[in-house]
Chains A and B, each alone.
Chain A
Amino acid sequence: MSALSVEGLKAGYDPDLAIVKSVSFSVDYGEAVCILGPNGAGKSTMIKAIAGLVPILAGSVHLGKKTVAGLPPHALVRQGLGFVPQTDNIFTRLTILENLQIAAQLLPASDRQSRIDAMLDMFPDLGGRPGELAGALSGGQRQMLAAARALLTEPEVLVLDEPSAGLSPKLVGQVFETLRQISDAGVTLVLVEQNVRAALALTGRALVLVDGQLAHDGSTDDLHDNKLLGELFLGHRAKGAPV
């Protein structure tokens, strides 16, 4: 059984104009998968639909055995889905601690403080100043807080939308190192990312979305061997391809 399975997913804001057109894939427990594709391919729309933020027009989404398509975002969190949007992914007018306390509200009262403490330990940049307004954090620290918030409820599947967008190369390294630790801890990861090399190094399996449809689903090596996709996303020709 898969941690996340998507079958025939059509999604978009206008019922007559699907942005995601009948996409199917599944992700195993503990697996890390990246979703690649050119701008406008529907990557973000697809994961927002999975997270309940974009209307699903057709198809099904399962988290484990549970059918979750069409549930509102807050219900999906309770079903074990953690989602980190690309931008505006923390409450800047609330403190770091308040951001975590809101997420912790879903846990039993006896577990809340220990989970918050665990997250502050896991992300030392946040731990030293829990009372500070989240709006004062740098771009990288905001991504850390967003990840900490999503992880706090111990989701079965963590979905991230371009976590490195707008960050300096140094911060990108930090973010991917954190994601590596999260993946190594056994959390199922689904990642939309423009930084293709970093994403492939982290995940090892790639889904390529083109014009709202799945153009490729395979390992990183498969992507290297595919001439067109290799040129599109890795900037080189496939092994053995004519120069």
Chain B
Amino acid sequence: MNPQAFIDGLIAGSTIGLGAIGLTLAYSILRFANFTHGDFLAWGAYLTLTVSGLLGGLAAGLGAPVHPFSFGWGLPLALLGGAALTILLALGLDRILFGRLRARGADVIIIVMASFGASMALRSLLEFIFTAKPVYFTNALQIAKPLGLGMRATPDQLLVIGMTAVLVLGLHLLVTRTATGRAMRAVSENPALAGVYGIDVAQIVRITWVIGAGLACIAGVMAGLLVQIRPYMGFDLLLPLFAAAILGGIGSIPGAMLGGLIIGLAEAFTVQIIGAEWRAAVSFIILVLVLMLRPQGLFGRKEA
């Protein structure tokens, strides 16, 4: 067995894990499966690309690669702008669609269907604006460097893994050690009681969208940096994202990250052992097995 599958799995799992964290937060606090989350990844990547282009037009030096990476300072700066715009997109969608349905007391299935429809609209809009032709953050070629034990990775790939680790740790500390995190966990358990405790539930909902959409944008940029940017990139990740969130246990941030890594590794080893045509089936098989054998996931709690 080629140990390279391990590093490939970690890289894919990082993107899946970050995306799954946003999904699991939305699921536990907003209480619905948000199908638009995958499209936030794609929109995040395209919006960052657009901002990057604007910055490149303003200062050509920002596009020059910074050794050892394949991109220049323009990309991290553009990521800030892209994340802000993706967050605005998510908050706007909540204001005009999901928030109104919540206020009317709509059933969860109605909100899920609304998110499905919004997801298709967002995807079509991306295709309309940017076309279906793949685009790239950079055309620079990178040589994978040996890591030992027969594994190789490019500096961009190692950056993605490191950045994911930092973000997950930071988010875990936010949720477990801060007043905002306590309030998020409280709203996740019982929104009505949270209000009685003095928590502004609407504010926590907004914070959840900010975190979820921000992470989705970063995950989208990571996927775009390592592979390519396409309107369907988020939709194609949706099944692995849901599988990771459910495998980790709904509401659990470390669980979503671990679930993402497990899905990524399972996909990578499947490609190597069985064949690339089975890659897409891995998430589905894991999702079905988890729902049948341990529906609460690795770190979730059994419903009473």
The residues of A with any CB-CB pair to B shorter than 8 Å are 51-53, 72-74, 77-78, 83, 85, 88-94, 98-99, 101-103, 105-106, 149, 153
Contacts and interface: CB of A to CB of B under 8 A. Distances in A.
Contacts of A74: 194-195, 197-201
Contacts of A72: 195, 200-202
Contacts of B194: 74
B203 to A, nearest CB: 9
Nearest to A100: B197
Given A93-B301, A102-B183, A85 B196 contact: yes
A53 B192 CA distance: 7
A52 B301 CA distance: 30
Interface in B169-196: 179, 182-183, 185-186, 189-190, 192-196
A88 B193 contact: yes
A93 B181 CA distance: 13
B197 A94 contact: no
Contacts of A98: 182, 185
| A-B CB proximity, top 3 nearest | A73-B195, A77-B198, A106-B198
Describe A's contact surface by its main secondary structure: loop
B185 A93 contact: yes
Describe B's contact surface by its main secondary structure: helix
Contact of B189 (A77, A92, A101, A105): A92
Interface residues of B, number: 19
B137 to A, nearest CB: 41
Contacts of A99: 197
Given A89-B196, A101-B179, A106-B198, 14 more contacts: A72-B195, A72-B201, A73-B195, A74-B197, A83-B196, A85-B193, A91-B186, A91-B190, A93-B301, A102-B179, A102-B183, A103-B197, A105-B198, A153-B198
A91 B199 CA distance: 13
Most B CB contacts (10 A, CB to CB) among A72, A73, A83, A88 go to A73
B198 A93 contact: no
A91 B195 contact: no
A231 B190 CA distance: 39
